[in-house]
Amino acid sequence: MAEPETMGGLVLSLAARSALNPRTALDLLTLAWAFRRREWWRQPPFLPLPDRAYLEWRLHTAYGEERALPPVEDVLRFARWRRRLLSA
């Protein structure tokens, strides 16, 4: 399967993987919740989305570029790693 070329494509690919595996869905949901912008309810669009500056910093430290799009497997691996780390 080809890697997505846009953030929307990445989200759709992750959603498809989540539909096939409930454990993956839970891992990705808890990861998304952890990345949400603090006090997200105070500013439009009033959605628990990550802060752009924080997300760019995370991408830069992981891939050397703020606009990098992580491979689907990297996101899944990080979500699983985070679950195992927090449950230990």
Average pLDDT of span 13-38: 96
Average pLDDT over every residue of 60-66: 95
pTM of the model: 0.89
How far is residue 51 CA from its own chain's centroid?
12
Average pLDDT over residues 22-42: 96
Report whether pLDDT(1) > 90: no
Cα–Cα distance for residue pair 65/78, rounded to 1 Å: 18
Encoding tokens for residue 59?
């991408």
Round to the nearest angstrom and report the end-to-end CA distance of the chain: 33
Mean pLDDT over 28-47 rounds to 94
